[in-house]
Amino acid sequence: MDAAAMNDILKIEITGPVVMTIAVVVGVGTFLLLFLRPSSRWAMTAVLGISVAALVGWLTVWLVEDVMDVFHVGLTPRVWFWVITGFAALGLAIVTFRHSPRWRKVAAAISIPVFLLVTALGINTEFGLNNTLGSALGIPTEDPIQLSKPNPDDPIPTGPLWQSWKPPANMPSQGKVGTQVIPATASGFNARPAGIYLPPAALTENPPKLPLYVLMMGQPGLPDPQYVAAALDDFAAKNNGLAPIVIVADQIGPDQDDTLCLDTATYGNVEKYINVDVVNWAKENLNILPDRDHWTIAGYSNGGQCAISFAVKYPKMWGNVVDISGEEFPGAEDPAGNLAEIFHGDQAAYDAQKPINIMKGKQFPDTTAVFTAGSDDVVYVAAAKAVSAAAKASGMTVTYYEVPNGGHVGIALNAGLVKGFEVLYPRLGLSR
């Protein structure tokens, strides 16, 4: 199989209607197969197997969510449904091996991996972060994007872009996504290729200089531009093709580490990579506006903490920050471990890296900040409230927003991106 064909397979959608269709067909077909010509003894055994396994599934989710708090967020009723149903189906398959003809045992053996796959797809759909097979496997599917070197002699608009920009008739209706390798010249950090989004206005023959938006995703995760591209295509369609140029930068590396977005001996110079290497590359390769008022540092979850940290460390560079479901401080999921491993027990050094502490006694009157979190995401709501309050006290123009019925995953990410652009579009000169 050639690379193009493999890439097409990796781009197959594994969410929504696709999953439900597969689940219904597999569920009905396998159920009928396993119950074909049942005896009363077999029916009782099957019902008992289903009931016991479903109870085990319920206990498993309860332990993971309520007792062990593995994910630090509440699991939705649909996640509970997929897990309990999956366990029940596995229970049916397992008891089928007892006192049944060979053909039924074969059917049960085949059904076990199928049940596991369908359950995984259903849970993935609910989390909403892996829309394609490639993203679920951690394999990027975007091709390298072609860029034209910006002309330093191009004029910089003196007013809002929405006033001066006149889109040509042949402007594309949607933006374009792809990847670019951003050399770690100054930092030496081992980063994966960055995702790039060019809005419709950037794809025209004489494009305007546009705002810069640097986004960092969660950990684990990919520097995947599809989420921000979907949001910005909608905004661009309503604003004559205008949108920021986006770099989805990799702050965690191929090993999926929580690097704390710091320069450390353990994980490398991540802070320098984002704020020096990525920024210098953007200036040299993207047709962007040069001033901080048009530059945004943004992030989701792990990336959200990185974003607010960089915004308060480099206020002359970043005029705007969007923190979507971000942690309160670097390594907040394991502060004791990070204190020992990264800071060698130096609590004062660790505290000095926390955004709330950095903001104390300082003022950021020209920074616009957006903080969002899912309303059901208790831990991250508390973090967003604490950091946004500190940002407001330090003089930032702050918007705080809770995504209704949102957890920590797909819904919270997508709604957080949209809220951020609603706030920033006028600030960036892209709309009234």
288-342: per-residue pLDDT in tens?
999 999 999 999 999 999 999 999 999 999 999 999 999 999 999 889 999 999 9
| CA 156 to mean position of chain CA atoms | 33
pLDDT of 372 above 90:
yes
Backbone phi and psi for residue 377, each to the nearest 5 degrees, phi listed first: -95, 80
Residue ranges per domain, the chain?
A: 3-127, 142-427
Query: pTM of the predicted model, to two decimals?
Result: 0.81
CB-CB contact of 423 with 368 (8 Å): yes
Over the stretch 228-277, which tens digit does the pLDDT of each residue have? 999 999 999 999 999 999 999 999 999 888 999 999 999 999 999 999 99
Q: What distance in Å separates the CA atoms of residue 420 and residue 424, rounded to the nearest whole number?
A: 6
Average per-residue pLDDT in the chain?
Answer: 87
Cβ proximity of 301 and 326 under 8 Å: yes
Residue 2, pLDDT score: 61
- Side-chain half-sphere CA neighbours of 284 within 13 A: 8
The least confident of 137-146, 187-196, 212-221, 364-373 is 137-146
Are 345 and 335 contacting, i.e. CB atoms less than 8 angstroms apart? no
Identify the band that residue 79 occupies on the pLDDT scale cut at 50, 70 and 90. Answer: confident
Q: Is the pLDDT of residue 367 over 60?
A: yes
**Can you tell me the mean pLDDT for 97-108?**
77
How many other CB atoms sit within 10 Å of the CB of residue 342? 21
Instruction: Specify the pLDDT at position 35.
Output: 63
CATH number of this structure's domain 142-427: 3.40.50.1820
